[in-house]
Amino acid sequence: MVTFLFIVSAAVVLAQTPRQVSLIITNGIVVTVDDGNRIINSGAVAIDGTDIVAVDTVENVRRQFRGRQTIDAAGQVVMPGLVNTHTHAPMVLYRGLADDLALDQWLTKYIFPAEAKTVSPEFVRAGTRLAALEMIESGTTTYADMYYFEDEIARETKAAGLRGVLGQTVIQFPVADAKTPAEGLARAERFVQAFKNDPLITPAVAPHAIYTNDSATLKAAREMSVRLGVPTLIHVAETQSEAMTAKERGSGTVVSYLDSIGFLGPGVLAAHAVWVNDSDMALLKSRGVGVSHNPVSNMKLASGIAPVRAYLAADVAIGLGTDGAASNNDLDMFEAMRAASFLQKVATSDPTAVSASAAVRMATIGGARALGMDKQIGSLAPGKRADVIIVSMNAARQTPMYDPLSHLVYVTNGDDVQTTIVNGKVLMRDRRVLTLDRAAALRDAKKWAVSVSAAVGR
Amino acid sequence: MVTFLFIVSAAVVLAQTPRQVSLIITNGIVVTVDDGNRIINSGAVAIDGTDIVAVDTVENVRRQFRGRQTIDAAGQVVMPGLVNTHTHAPMVLYRGLADDLALDQWLTKYIFPAEAKTVSPEFVRAGTRLAALEMIESGTTTYADMYYFEDEIARETKAAGLRGVLGQTVIQFPVADAKTPAEGLARAERFVQAFKNDPLITPAVAPHAIYTNDSATLKAAREMSVRLGVPTLIHVAETQSEAMTAKERGSGTVVSYLDSIGFLGPGVLAAHAVWVNDSDMALLKSRGVGVSHNPVSNMKLASGIAPVRAYLAADVAIGLGTDGAASNNDLDMFEAMRAASFLQKVATSDPTAVSASAAVRMATIGGARALGMDKQIGSLAPGKRADVIIVSMNAARQTPMYDPLSHLVYVTNGDDVQTTIVNGKVLMRDRRVLTLDRAAALRDAKKWAVSVSAAVGR
């Protein structure tokens, strides 16, 4: 009898005093990207601290929770933040410096000389601030990066409030932050130790590619990743010519070469993976390697068309990336979704290939899975980190709306993102970025552009 | 001596009293798209009434002209309005209704039933208002259209202030505005007579395609166009299967069939023209046919990849189009430029294919030429109609800027357009559309969407 009374009174108390949480986003069209692809038309997301605590109808969330802060998302889409699985953040300072060139011209006449003359800790910090601003403004909440002075990138990423899987580059030739691969490896280890337990930063080791590293360096980089328990980021089979290096080292393809030196395994993220055959794909799948598909970069640089429909059919962990802004030329993941869908449709002569739903999944949970973070991020579910964006659907080009997934992929741009939340913290509210000095970031970028122009004589 | 004094005093008067004109756009980065591709970094455009009277440096324009109205375009690009060479404006009301479907499913289960149940003069007017809003907001100043009740479309286009090449559809089967092709032809003739001398509207005859018209109807439509001196708009070789019809009628390709019935000639605009061989291309060139390339629609519907690089090399008059919003799903010509460039690069394995400059030319002067209007519009030059847009370059994703042409194609969206001017009239100023009731257009579209959903049961 006592027990019964206790239960009743507890229920009454629950009904009367909803739990207080830090933030409730309410009245939105909630695109959960959960296993059932659930869309809640009049939905709410309750966030407490760094975590999502509820994703449900407005009514159910209101009954259980009260927010210290509330954001009304009426008429807008509430969805997981976008996961950009491959970029080189500071290269935003080179965007549009040189386009429409043959690959070797582009690299040897512009990008490499510019990097040789301008990359420094200060340059990398200014570039990361600009990239972070652009990512926050376009709904990216997690990004994977490969560049130099990655510790500087990590500090700016943390300051901006973004989540990052940040890979310190290891490369055979002398670069701005290391004269030898050994120096690069030592720098990578220091970087990993410094950021190992950070709530926002996952440090990683990033051997650039097989054509820019010998097998000893590749092995050493991978062994360090495994020893330290952090991801390995690498460019894989981006261009057809990369297979030359693999052949010189006795393997038929880039992927089979990497497997032959014991490189492939869980925690490896293969950026691009355009030129793969069926065996390569089976290897990537069986070794638990994640793939980053970068459709805009692959088209703009004419690298080739990755077999994305086949990757999806084989259930390879595949996400989307923008690549660096020197080869895109922006960091808009909505454009990446659209391009991924369009390119596969036309390449396979099949208009059903990479549906809007598939593209949204790749840009969120797919990317999280490719980075080994799908337990923490990539969908809206209680217990996951609160990485959430709110996307406007009120433009003429978004009217009328029959299907929010179609609109997200086929008519929405990064600029439609109104609010960006990472780890429960609001980084942008109603288009106002709260964690960065926008004017200063743009001003600094313009200053650096003067040096970049001078470096390449244009 | 008298003559000499007269000249001197006239020069003094000229220097002291600049000519008053209606509008000067000043301090912009003026992308003229003229024959020399001239870009004036601190430039101005003087407009008087419907015409451009000067395109020069700020200093030179200031010396010669004084504007009753002045628009400061500091830090922004001033360029010719975009020419959308192929769309079906009212189909914005079907955008996102059905995606990711096989072509026959998409047409027979969604688009045709929706059209059968909803197309009416009222529907077409509401759709055109929404499309006009979207086009003005994204910098399109001229558009070519093929749909039903084209007289209603013309009235709404004029009211919105846009320039249109508007084709009344002629089709073999019964449609909303004509039970027979004869009725369609009669309607087309009345439409042409009603709008023949309009300053904004160029009426046209639009036989839908060869697979939806018999040869007698095709010939009658073309003969009417020639007799009335107006353009002929037609879908040509959009999909591979269209060649079947040509073969049944004794020709190897769609283009050779059209030529065999005397259809091809100046004033014909061939939309899509994806599946063409070298002889077809030579025919299109020698007959003076214009081509409308629609890269986004071609990718989304998996129609195929038009040989745009070859068209450009052959100097065929080629412009860009969005196609209707049911197959795009928006009317953003910046996206069309980007897609045209990206798709050719990856399809030809050549990153130099369709440069940013080539894409900008296709979207402006190329489209004007394809429509036979390059004497009037498509570039900024004295004597041409004042169809001008002002495009913001201040977003994070547009920072820094090394090359305005690169930015226009690779990082700019329709929403970056701040001001849209057609025929000397300001239709949008600082993102505020002046010729349409924005809220009413969106509200009406949402109302029609309810009927559309009901018509197809989703």
Q: Write the secondary structure of B109-122 as one string of H (helix), E (strand) and C (coil).
A: HHHHHHHHHHCCHH
Q: Which two tokens stand for residue B336?
A: 């069309």
User: How much is the average pLDDT of B98-109?
Assistant: 92
**Nearest CB neighbour to A397, from listed B99, B330, B353:** B330
pLDDT tens column, B27-66 = 999 999 999 999 999 999 999 999 999 999 999 999 999 9
Q: For chain B, what's the residue count?
A: 458
Cβ contacts from A onto B, under 8 A: 194
Could you say which of B331, B401, B449 has the minimum Cβ distance to residue A402? B449
Mutating which of A136, A303, A399 best tests the B interface, going by the most B Cβ atoms within 10 A? A399
**CB of B219 closer than 8 Å to CB of B261:** yes
| Angle between helical axes of B150-160 and B121-137 (0-180°, round to 10) | 40
pLDDT 10s digits, A304-324:
999 999 999 999 999 999 999
Q: Read off the amino acid at residue B347.
A: A
Tokens 């599946």 found at: B275
- Residue in B202, B140, B85, B33 with CA at minimum distance from that of residue B420: B140
**Could you tell me the two tokens for A85?**
């699985």
Looking at residue A4, its pLDDT comes to 46
- Best B92, B135, B402 member to test A by mutation, with max A CBs in 10 Å, is B402
CA distances from A98 to A108, A327, B112, B453 (A): 11, 9, 46, 47
DSSP letters, A59-86, are HHHHHHEEEEEEEE-TTSEEEEPEEEEE
Long-range contacts of A219-226 (CB under 8 A, 24+ apart): A219/A261, A219/A262, A219/A263, A220/A181, A220/A185, A221/A170, A221/A185, A221/A188, A222/A262, A222/A263, A222/A265, A222/A268, A224/A185, A224/A188, A224/A189, A224/A192, A225/A267, A226/A265, A226/A267
Both structure tokens of B96: 């996102």
Rounded mean pLDDT, B367-389: 98
Contact (CB<8Å) B396/A134: yes
pLDDT class for B17, splitting at 50, 70, 90?
Answer: confident
Report the percentage of chain A scoring pLDDT > 70: 97
Share of chain A above pLDDT 90, in %: 95
Nearest to B356 among A99, A397, A399 (CB): A99
Instruction: Return d(Cα A176, Cα A148) in angstroms, integer.
Output: 7
In chain B, which residue's Cα lies nearest the Cα of A327? B410
Q: Do B341 and A300 touch (CB under 8 A)?
A: yes
Stretch A41-56: mean pLDDT: 98
Top-confidence residue, A58 or A17: A58
Contacts of B346 in chain A (CB under 8 A): 298-299, 302-305, 343
The amino acid at residue A241 is S
Task: Check B415 against A415: CB less than 8 A apart.
Answer: yes
How far does CA A260 lie from the centroid of its chain? 28
B39-48 and A425-429: which strand pairing? Answer: unpaired
What is the model's pLDDT at position A132?
A: 98
In degrees, rounded to 5, the angle at the alpha carbon of residue B176 between the alpha carbons of residues B174 and B181 is 40
Report chain A residues whose CB lies below 8 A from the CB of B438.
396
Cβ–Cβ gap B400/A305 under 8 Å = no
Over range B310-334, report the average pLDDT.
97
CA distance B219 to chain A (A): 32
pLDDT band per the 50, 70, 90 thresholds, residue A15 = low
Q: How confident is the model at residue A159 (pLDDT cuts 50, 70, 90)?
A: very high
Which residue segments constitute the domains of chain A, with CATH numbers given? 82-102+139-370 (3.20.20.140)
Is residue B332 helix, strand or coil?
coil
What is chain B's mean pLDDT, rounded? 96
- DSSP result, A165-216: EEEEEE-SS-BTTBSSHHHHHHHHHHHHHHHTT-SSEEEEEEE--GGGS-HH
Contacts for A421 with CB less than 8 Å, ≥ 6 apart: A23, A47, A81, A141, A386, A387, A388, A389, A427
Contact of B161 with B437, CB cutoff 8 Å: no
N-to-C CA span, chain B: 86
Nearest to B410 among A92, A99, A399 (CB): A99
Q: Could you please report the per-residue DSSP string of B146-167?
A: EESSHHHHHHHHHHHT-EEEEE
CA distance B263 to A428: 57
pLDDT at B458: 81
The answer to whether residues A22 and A65 touch, using CB atoms and an 8 Å cutoff, is no
Three-state SS for A352-365 is CCCCHHHHHHHHHH
Asked if residue B15 has pLDDT above 70, the reply is: no
Maximum Cα interatomic distance, chain B, rounded to a whole number of Å? 87
Residue B403 and residue A350: Cβ atoms within 8 Å? no
Helical spans, DSSP H, in B42-166: 58-64, 103-105, 112-118, 121-137, 150-160
What stretches of B65-106 show up as alpha helix (H) in DSSP? 103-105
Nearest C-alpha in A relative to B325? A397
Positive/negative CA dihedral, B132, B136, B140, B141 = positive
pLDDT at B2 over 50: no
With CB atoms and an 8 Å threshold, state whether A406 touches B99: yes
0.90 cut: is pTM over it? yes
B46 CB neighbour count, 10 Å cutoff: 27
Residues B399 and B407: their CA atoms lie apart, in Å, by: 9
Q: Of residues A6 and A397, which shows the higher confidence score?
A: A397
**Amino acid letter at B26?**
T
Helix locations, B240-303, DSSP H: 242-248, 254-260, 278-286, 295-300
Q: CA-nearest residue of chain B to A101?
A: B352
The pLDDT of residue A112 is above 60 = yes
Q: Which tokens belong to B328? A: 């795009």
Which pLDDT score, from 0 to 100, does residue A2 have?
Answer: 44
Q: For residue range B413-444, what is the model confidence (pLDDT) as tens digits?
A: 999 999 999 999 999 999 999 999 999 999 99
Closest residue on chain A to B103 (Cα):
A351
CB contact under 8 A, A446 and B298: no
> What mean pLDDT comes out for the span B365-383?
98
**ipTM (interface predicted TM):** 0.95
Over residues B202-248, the pLDDT tens digits come to 999 999 999 999 999 999 999 999 999 999 999 999 999 999 999 99
Q: Do residues B392 and B418 touch, judged by C-beta distance below 8 A?
A: yes
Residue A458: what pLDDT?
81
User: Given a cut of 90, is residue B71 above it in pLDDT?
Assistant: yes
Calculate what percentage of chain B has a pLDDT beyond 70. 97
Phi, psi of B251 (to 5 degrees): -120, 155
Query: pLDDT at residue A407 above 50?
Result: yes
Contact B363, B391 (CB under 8 A): no
Give CA–CA dist A149/B230, Å, rounded. 63
Residue of B37, B99, B412 best to disrupt the A interface, most CBs of A under 10 A: B99
Pairwise CA distance, residues B278 & A144, whole Å: 45
Give the C-alpha distances (Å, rounded to integers) separating B7 from A9, A352, B1, B2, B4: 102, 73, 10, 9, 5
Question: What is the SS3 assignment for B418?
Answer: strand
pLDDT of residue A1: 41
Residue B66 CB: number of other CB atoms within 10 A? 14
- Say if residues B28 and B73 touch (Cβ distance below 8 Å): yes
Q: Is A199 in contact with A235 (CB distance < 8 Å)?
A: no
C-beta atoms surrounding A125 within 10 Å: 18
- The DSSP secondary-structure symbol of B178 reads B
Which are the contacts of A94, defined by CB distance < 8 A and separation ≥ 6?
Answer: A110, A111, A114, A324, A325, A326, A452
Name chain A contacts of B352, Cβ cutoff 8 Å: 100-102
